[in-house]
Structure 1
Amino acid sequence: MGGSGPTLDKPKREAILDLGKYLNEKIRVKFTGGREVVGVLKGYDQLLNLVLDNVEETLQPPLPPTRQLGLTVLRGPTITVLSPVDGSEEIENPFTSDGQ
């Protein structure tokens, strides 16, 4: 038989953060290890993997101050800080229960 096996209905994982309001907006992303980029958010998934366009990486001296990267995919597990370039916003802690 040519079946691929039984399919298991897994509950769909929800994203920890809703980044939908930042689509097509400029955001700043910092990574483990100290790298930092700024770019326009074009897409994301529930693991916070990001697609940014017009990405500019800030470099540490003695290198030139910035490097243009263009369209870039950023891996969610390596991200430590994610913030809008224009201002900031406090969000509710997604890891606390409503009763605390």
Structure 2
Amino acid sequence: HEGRHSLVALDCHSRAPLRVFMAEEKKKKVTVLDMSKYIDRSVRVKFMGGREVEGILKGYDALLNLVLDDTKEFLKAADDPSKLLDESRPLGLTVCRGTSVMLVCPTNGFEEIENPFLQEEAEEAE
């Protein structure tokens, strides 16, 4: 039996061998995302709550926990938390919890654009 360990014991009354199965090994979690192509590359990560960081992806697991090196966090404006400032602060080696990760993208070719829906909302309010 693959993935199972068995133990053979004798029944004291009939002396017939009994087979007792031990607990199955834990099944490995499989992720639908292939992050291996981003290992040792610069990635940008957005989190629940609006924080954003950028760093070199050094490792990950099936739960999307990430390990980033040379990480820098982009600071947000105090008056408008949805706006990022041009300022950043270095964080160094960082472990990012997978449950809070919303977006992971390579920094190569990354360009942020203005939200076109904000313009429509402003026009509707007038």
The amino acid that maps onto 1:47 is L
Q: Unpaired segments of 5 or more residues in structure 1?
A: 1-5, 89-100
Q: Please state which structure has a larger fraction of its residues in strand.
A: 2
Residue 90 of structure 2 corresponds to residue 59 of structure 1 = no
Secondary structure of the equivalent of 2:103?
strand
Q: Deviations over 1:37-73 (max 9, x none)?
A: 0000000000000000000000012588111000000
Secondary structure of the equivalent of 1:59?
strand
Report the Cα distance in structure 1 between the residues aligned to 2:101 and 2:45, rounded to whole angstroms: 7
- Equivalenced residues, count: 83
Residue 12 of structure 2 corresponds to residue 12 of structure 1 = no
Secondary structure of the equivalent of 2:76?
coil
2:11 alignment counterpart: none
The amino acid that maps onto 1:13 is K
2:60 alignment counterpart: 44
Distance apart, 1:13 and its partner CA: 1.6
Q: TM-score, normalised by structure 1?
A: 0.75
Q: TM-score, normalised by structure 2?
A: 0.61
Alignment RMSD, CA only? 1.8
2:99 alignment counterpart: 77
Q: Deviations over 1:59-98 (max 9, x none)?
A: 012588111000000000001111000037xxxxxxxxxx
Identity of aligned residues (%): 49
Deviates more, 1:7-16 or 1:27-36: 7-16
Q: Which has the larger radius of gyration?
A: 2
Report the Cα distance in structure 1 between the residues aligned to 2:27 and 2:92, rounded to whole angstroms: 35
Q: Unpaired segments of 5 or more residues in structure 2?
A: 1-21, 79-84, 111-126
Q: Which of 1 and 2 has higher RCO (CA within 8 Å, sep 6+)?
A: 1
